[in-house]
Amino acid sequence: MAIVKPFKAVRPSRDKVALVSSKSFDAYTDKELDSKLEFNPFTFLHIINPGYKYHQEFTGEQRFQMIHNRYEEFKENKIFIKDTTDSFYIYESLDAHDSFCGIIAATAVDDYINGCIKKHEGTIKKREELFESYLKTTGFNAEPVLLTYEDDENFNKLLLTIQEKRPEYEFSTTDKKLHRLWLVNDEIHIGEITSFFEKKEALYIADGHHRSASSSLLKKDLQKENNHHNGTENYNYFMSYIIPESNLKISEFNRFVKDLNGLTIDEFLIELDKSYRIEEKGEHFYKPSQKHHFSMYLDGKFYSLYLRKSAYTYKDALSKLDAEILYKTILKPILGIDNLDNNDRIRYRNNKLDMLSIKTLVDNGQFEIGFGMLPITIDEMKKIADAQLIMPPKTSYIEPKLRSGLTMYEF
């Protein structure tokens, strides 16, 4: 049973929401970031980049405290307003190619701890602790965890019924996306939504594993400090954006390696031949068409790699993942890359952002070799989570990516 509940969000006033909301901080170039901060006094970027006001950089706890201060200023100036009624928030974003719609809600930390909210990625303890410190000092979270559930036709109809009303927000952004948000605060609809998720045996994390883990650490710390803890406090929950599986869009990450581990090109190809049938494709862009096939770009040429069935044994759901196969058959044994999390010789790039990056980054000399594969499926992701296994880093790039500053969850 998944606990999903409404909450009182802090969010922008209707007249300023288009100015406040922003992409994630890392999505902007330095030039774009400077422009936003210079010409838009309402952007959420002023909160998460508090040093701009003083023309200096802040780090660590000092930065976190300054973020808290900017956040409080936005509330004092009525740029942010806290809802007086617990609500669910139906959020939709769409453009000419994609449409995403789901519910922003509070989900239980205990569900994450006991495995009702399932994960498929590992987390780094240092990052968990850093983000927990951020949450504890700032007192709010503006980036929901992305959760997914199996599609349900009747529940989809319920959401569509709610969406027939005028949205609280409706605005467009410069990336040509339309954004809408509906408040759900009537008892009947809240009851129907809550009841629907109570019948779900599990929800799956699509994106936000570190945010989930950090919320778990936060709960443990604040519970210890609260002599009157009763389980209803906000820190017992974290903000999530919950969407049906059909709304997920999954892209792959290409892998790039800086050298051939001391091998010549011919020596490398001979080693590769032990596990793969290799076909040279020339200079024309090549992308694999089925699982366990890979593209490779080396020395100005594309190659197709077809895994030899006799050379690899499938043991579990993890061993069937293309990212794991690439690691087990090439990256580790031939190229000598053991630790995928912390190795300067390997880099990853989301294939959605640049279809030809596999060629471009090798041709310009940044890397010696690039590998491409097909994206994972939602079924593969769920099987990994159900088996309590952990995928290799940068296995999937999952959308939607929510804008910051639309709804804030306070602790």
Q: What is the pLDDT of residues 161-193, one digit of tens each?
A: 999 999 999 999 998 999 999 999 999 999 999
Fold of 4-250+399-410: 3.90.1530
Task: Let me know if 197 is exposed, middle or buried by CB neighbors in 10 A (0-12, 13-18, 19+).
Answer: buried
pLDDT band, very low/low/confident/very high, at 284 (cuts 50, 70, 90):
confident
Beta bridge partners of 295: 304, 372
Q: Could you state, in order of their start, the residue ranges of all structural domains in the chain?
A: 4-250+399-410, 253-374
Query: Are 93 and 178 in contact, with CB atoms under 8 Å apart?
Result: yes
Q: Give residue 178's pLDDT.
A: 97
Residue from 133, 1, 113, 54 nearest 411 by CA: 133
Q: What is the mean pLDDT of residues 339-353?
A: 87
Residue from 400, 402, 401, 406 nearest 21 by CA: 406
Query: What is the residue whose two structure tokens read 């593209």?
Result: 295
**Whole-number Å distance between alpha carbons of 319 and 294:** 16
Task: Give the SS3 label for residue 77.
Answer: coil
**Whole-number Å distance between alpha carbons of 244 and 150:** 6
Q: Give residue 355's pLDDT.
A: 64
Task: Give the SS3 label for residue 279.
Answer: strand
Segment (H or E) for 358: helix 357-363
pLDDT band, very low/low/confident/very high, at 354 (cuts 50, 70, 90):
low
pLDDT band, very low/low/confident/very high, at 298 (cuts 50, 70, 90):
very high
Q: What is the pLDDT of residues 247-283, one digit of tens each?
A: 999 999 999 999 999 999 999 999 999 999 999 999 8
DSSP string for 334-355: TT----SSS-TTEEEEETTT-T
Residue 213 tokens, joined: 């883990």
